[in-house]
Amino acid sequence: MKSRFCLVLLFALWSATAAAVTPATALGLLVDSASAQAAHDGLRVLGATPGSVADQLGLRPGDLIVDVNGTALANLGADANGRALAAATFNAALAELPQASPLRLRILRDGVTLALNSPSRTAASTAPTDVAEAAPATPATGGCGRISTFDVAPRNQHLYRAKILLLDGTTPGPTGTPSFRVSAGTHKLLVAENIPTEQMGVGSIASLRSRRDTSKTLIVTVQPDTTSLLAARLNTDKASEFAHGAYWDPVIWRVIAEKCP
């Protein structure tokens, strides 16, 4: 890459120590960190290592990573060597990630905000477990599963009811159904939040938001014979930031092993 300065970020996501990077457990990501100007609005993706977690997440050249686990990456300036501090901030956020926690990324792609989360290390367990909404390490093949908006998410994790507006470009039905049978594999959801205004902690201003205008796209990979539980997560540190829907994110907060006929 002689024509431009780039930084290859290889991060261990669920190793016993965050500093231990191995190809099998790493996120392989190539981003432009040449200067503060290059990363003014976030980290621009230049490429992903084939077969890596970043590749499985679906990160593409041109994507702009604007947030990692609730930490914004825009307007962070440069270090003493002129390198974008956004890259160091990304690195630090991953190093502080608890062992079994998912990595949450918010990106901009062609003007659309997407939430991409990689699964926790325990995501393959047959017991209910916290996982996230992007592609798992092993792609789903054959069979069927379900995506459910049944509202049983724990409020102490700031999780509330969500509504699926579109499932793979089509309005799901019938109306009022909380669970939708889908083929195993990757699906694209358009999701709106149904967070009670009084839970947002910002007074009556929250009632002025448009849930449909702040809807978000979510990529979900459904494994065979599982039910993925969908919820809306309130970002309490951004509860008053209604522009671009920064106050919330759609998440798959739990996956349950459940036979799909």
What is the separation, in whole angstroms, between the first and last Cα of the chain?
50
pLDDT of 180: 92
| pTM for this model (two decimals) | 0.50
Res. 61: pLDDT tops 50 = yes
Res. 12: pLDDT tops 50 = no
- Average pLDDT (25-37) is 70
pLDDT of 26: 47
Q: Which residue has the higher pLDDT, 132 or 75?
A: 75
For the chain, what are the domain ranges?
A: 7-114, 119-257
Q: How many other C-beta atoms are found inside a 10 Å radius of the C-beta of residue 9?
A: 19
Q: Which residue has the higher pLDDT, 105 or 22?
A: 105
Res. 162: pLDDT tops 90 = yes
Q: Which residue has the higher pLDDT, 168 or 240?
A: 168
Per-residue pLDDT tens over the stretch 80-131:
777 778 888 888 887 777 766 777 888 888 878 888 776 543 332 222 222 2
Q: Which residue has the higher pLDDT, 179 or 18?
A: 179
- Average pLDDT (196-225) is 79
| Proportion of the chain above pLDDT 90, given as a percent | 10
pLDDT of 183: 93
What is the pLDDT confidence band of residue 7, given thresholds at 50, 70 and 90? Answer: very low
Class of the CATH-defined domain 7-114 = mainly beta
pLDDT of 177: 80
pLDDT of 35: 77
pLDDT of 109: 86
Q: Which residue has the higher pLDDT, 219 or 58?
A: 219
pLDDT of 119: 56
